[in-house]
Amino acid sequence: MPASPSRWSRAWQENLVAFELPEALTLAKQMNAELAGKTIEHVHLADECAGLIRQGFVNLQQVNLAGTTIRSVTSKGKWVYIRLEPDWYFLLALESGGKVLYHPSQESVVKFHVKLDFSDGSCLTVRIVGWGFAKAVKESELEAQRYPGKLGLSPVDEKEFSYQNFCAVLEQGGNKIVKYVLMEQTKITGIGNGYLQDILFRAKLHPKRKVADLSKTERKTLYNAIRKTLNEAVRRGGSEFEVDLYDQPGRYKRLVGEHMKGKPCPACGTAIEKLSVLGGSVYVCPSCQK
């Protein structure tokens, strides 16, 4: 069942609700299956989209996507890439929550910022919460975009995210803390504050540990925790706090988070504590994650 409105609100305030790699990958796969081959007939921008346009989060008022056809939909990290024929990309990122929904007809459309009408009568709506992006760029201009910019290793790509490559990232991290290194999108892409907490809990690491101080055993444990957490979340269609293309919540349950504050750690029984690290709330077990 979807989380209650109050739970959604609390989760957003605690930086738990976030569109991360598992959600982007789930959405891209669904969109590719549902939308490939559809032709855009019209692009609608709601009045409240004006604020997003001023901030540079939306640029669809400047381009004409009418008549373009969706070739494929893929993802990288937190981003969804919709490739349009002949030479456009429509880029989506819901950095702090939101919804991208498919509607077989106009009758099911609810509140949105951006709506793409297709020639067969179906449509796609984009709703951005907090901050996120819905931008169209020429294929030749893709690499020059500040966002998403250069993205690092995909932690769900077994070949790309080898243990050797992961250790190379840690070596480059020097005296930086582990939370910073895991969330630096130019090194490892797709991990946000939400999944980070479960990864560190599984690895029994404190978010303020310096990567330079991690032992070989701790590095291997952290690597395995990243792989296990994200692959499990992908299998379950993303977080329980996010919804897919059909407005269905994911089935991945958070191990730690706001809902665990003050409750006993499932491993040792110590009360879970809230910390503020790099501007975001992180929940840890003070015994397991010293």
The pLDDT tens digits of the residues spanning 142-164 come to 878 877 878 999 999 999 999 99
The answer to whether the CB of 15 falls within 8 A of the CB of 194 is yes
- Of the two residues 226 and 129, the one the predictor is more confident about is 226
- Sorting pLDDT into bands at 50, 70 and 90, what band is 278? confident
The answer to whether the CB of 180 falls within 8 A of the CB of 149 is no
Q: How confident is the model at residue 274, as a pLDDT?
A: 94
80 is a domain residue: yes
Average pLDDT of the chain is: 91
**Block residue for tokens 């790509």:** 157
101 and 177 inside one domain: no
27 and 80 inside one domain: yes
251 is a domain residue: no
138 and 187 inside one domain: no
The tokens of 97 are what?
A: 């929550």
Alpha-carbon gap, residue 241 to 148, rounded angstroms: 23
DSSP β-ladder status, 88-93 and 133-138: antiparallel
pLDDT exceeds 70 at position 245: yes
pLDDT exceeds 50 at position 16: no
The one-letter amino acid at 261: K
In the chain, where do the E strands start and end? 40-45, 69-76, 79-85, 88-93, 98-103, 114-118, 123-128, 133-138, 273-277, 280-284
Indicate which CATH number applies to the domain containing 261. Answer: 1.10.8.50
- Sorting pLDDT into bands at 50, 70 and 90, what band is 141? confident
pLDDT digits (tens, 9 = 90+) for 216-241: 999 999 999 999 999 999 999 999 98
184 is a domain residue: yes
88 and 185 inside one domain: no
pTM (2 decimals)?
0.90
107 and 171 inside one domain: no
10 and 76 inside one domain: yes
Alpha-carbon gap, residue 93 to 139, rounded angstroms: 17
- Of the two residues 114 and 9, the one the predictor is more confident about is 114
157 is a domain residue: no
How many other CB atoms are there within 10 angstroms of residue 17's CB atom? 26
Percentage of the chain modeled with pLDDT above 70: 94
The tokens of 272 are what?
A: 């879970």
36 and 140 inside one domain: yes
User: 110, 144, 178: which is the final residue of a domain?
Assistant: 144
Indicate which CATH number applies to the domain containing 68. Answer: 3.20.190.10
User: 144, 179, 210: which is the final residue of a domain?
Assistant: 144
Q: Which of 70, 83, 108, 97 is nearest to 15 (CA)?
A: 97
pLDDT exceeds 60 at position 124: yes
Q: How confident is the model at residue 14, as a pLDDT?
A: 41
135 and 169 inside one domain: no
Q: How confident is the model at residue 2, as a pLDDT?
A: 33
Question: What kind and span of H or E run contains 234?
Answer: helix 216-235
Instruction: Give the residue-averaged pLDDT of 189-207.
Output: 95
The tokens of 277 are what?
A: 């690290």
pLDDT exceeds 50 at position 10: no
User: 80, 110, 144: which is the final residue of a domain?
Assistant: 144
150 is a domain residue: no
DSSP β-ladder status, 79-85 and 123-128: unpaired
Q: How many domains does the chain have?
A: 2
Largest CA distance in the chain: 59
228 is a domain residue: yes
Q: Is 59 exposed, middle or buried (0-12, 13-18, 19+ CB in 10 A)?
A: middle
The answer to whether the CB of 43 falls within 8 A of the CB of 60 is yes
22 is a domain residue: yes
124 and 32 inside one domain: yes
The answer to whether the CB of 118 falls within 8 A of the CB of 39 is yes
pLDDT exceeds 90 at position 5: no
175 and 122 inside one domain: no
262 and 228 inside one domain: yes
12 and 137 inside one domain: yes
243 is a domain residue: no
The tokens of 55 are what?
A: 């901030």
Domain that holds residue 112: 5-144
Q: Which of 179, 229, 230 is nearest to 205 (CA)?
A: 179
Alpha-carbon gap, residue 134 to 125, rounded angstroms: 11
